[in-house]
Amino acid sequence: MIRPLGVNINAQIKATALVAAISVVELTYTAQRYIGSTYKPFEMFLLAGVLYIIIIIIITIIGQGVTYLDRKARMP
């Protein structure tokens, strides 16, 4: 139950980039704004990608921790 939920949370984090299209100032939109002043799209989007990956790694580690605790709690 907890593992598939973790996968869904990761998918959801990636889907949050979509709100940039309606100009919510999140990671992708911020990157776009800085590109407007620096004219460096490749570097900025790459940086945004790295930040997304870091968030995903943290969430995955938390998910694994929760799974571990869950398994431990179930032990008879």
Partner 1 sequence: MGLDFSVVPGFLDTILLGGLWTIAVTVASALLSFFGGILLAVIALYAPLVIRLPFRFFAWLFMGTPLLLQLFLIYFGLVELGIDLPAFVAGVIGLGLHFAVYSSELIQTAIVAVDKGQMEAARTLGLSRGQSLRRIVIPQAVRDVIPPIGNNMIALLKDSALVSVIGVSELTLSSQLAIGRTYRPFEFYATAAVRYYFINLGMEAVLRRIERKTALSR
- The residue ranges that bind partner 1 (CB under 8 A) are 10, 14-18, 20-21, 28, 31-32, 35, 40-43, 45-46, 48-49, 52-53, 56-57
Comparing CB distances to partner 1, the nearer of 56 and 66 is 56
Distances 56 to 34, 64, 73, 75 between C-alpha atoms, Å:
23, 12, 25, 29
Residues 37, 13: Cα–Cα separation, whole Å: 26
Q: How far is the CB of 50 from partner 1 (least distance, A)?
A: 9
Comparing CB distances to partner 1, the nearer of 14 and 71 is 14
Comparing CB distances to partner 1, the nearer of 17 and 66 is 17
